[in-house]
Amino acid sequence: MAYRPQLTQASRPATFPALALDETGSEIAVEIAGEHPLTLYVDKREIVTLMTLGAAPEALIVGYLRNQRMVGSLEEIAAVQVDWETEAAAVTTRHGVENLDERLGKRTVTTGCGQGTMFGDLMEEFEHLHLPDDAVLTEATMYALLDNLRHYDTLYKRAGALHSCALAQGSEILYHVEDVGRHNAVDAIAGLMWLDDIEGADKVFYTTGRLTSEMVIKAAQMGIPFIVSRSGITQMGYEVAQQVGITLIGRAKGSHYLLFTGRHRLRK
């Protein structure tokens, strides 16, 4: 049985009721997305405050630690305890985080909806990542995945104001996570992959958000060779994708897409 740290089960309600006036002046009851601050403490050291939907906070924290390279394996995490009364997530590690002060001193604020932050020399570590060249995604499979996602029951359809990310094997959706920031959604999927001992080499990562360098780096760290987005791509996202050789597909909707990098993996 795969190792799991001690985890709370502290998910928050995803939506909350509110009243609004429509274009005719009529008052209607609507659902709005939740947004909650969650301050991460690692071995009692404050790291960062994340603004999150709160639907999967433990997976979010595990994935955040994974993608920030603060821990090298799930076994290094002893416990993750989320307490919404104090708006805190307390992580206990087995042996501490190596060079934590140095990592926290090297901080890059990313384009992650105004709140993304990356610590340490992740760009240098990124240079050593290698993705499988023999992974293949057919156009028909990608279209089937996009169709499955189109019919997926999402919080966005009810409340809006959310980004969604998904992990798929072929056209089958394994995980679907929504949050107020796309960086939170990808971190939660990274956490779920670790907790369920899922490898990324034959998987497809989907996001509704734009393909920035941060998104490319996180997908590559998860070992995923394919990224598909409904949105566009930034210059640095394109350059980083070329560097690591990831297959990057943007503006994917219906039967339309733009294949930017890693063209050898997508087959007609």
Report the C-alpha gap between 261 and 240 in whole angstroms.
Answer: 10
Output the CA–CA distances (angstroms, integers) from residue 85 to 36, 88, 90, 91, 134, in the order listed. Answer: 11, 8, 13, 16, 48
Output the average pLDDT for the chain. Answer: 88
Report the C-alpha gap between 235 and 213 in whole angstroms.
Answer: 8
pTM: 0.88
User: Exposed, middle or buried by CB within 10 Å (0-12, 13-18, 19+), for 254?
Assistant: exposed
Q: Determine the pLDDT at residue 121.
A: 56
Helices (H), 34-120: 57-67, 100-105
Q: Is the pLDDT of residue 72 over 50?
A: yes
Report the C-alpha gap between 248 and 236 in whole angstroms.
Answer: 13
Q: Is the pLDDT of residue 114 over 50?
A: no
What is the mean pLDDT of the segment spanning 81-99? 94
Report the C-alpha gap between 125 and 24 in whole angstroms.
Answer: 55
User: Exposed, middle or buried by CB within 10 Å (0-12, 13-18, 19+), for 150?
Assistant: exposed
Q: Determine the pLDDT at residue 161.
A: 67
Domains belonging to the chain, first-starting first, are 6-126 (3.10.20.10), 137-267 (3.40.140.10)
Give the model confidence (pLDDT) of 129-174 as tens digits.
778 889 999 999 999 999 999 888 777 777 666 888 999 999 999 9
Give the model confidence (pLDDT) of 208-255 as tens digits.
988 988 899 899 999 999 999 999 999 999 998 998 999 999 999 989
Q: Determine the pLDDT at residue 267.
A: 94
Higher pLDDT pick, 122 / 55:
55
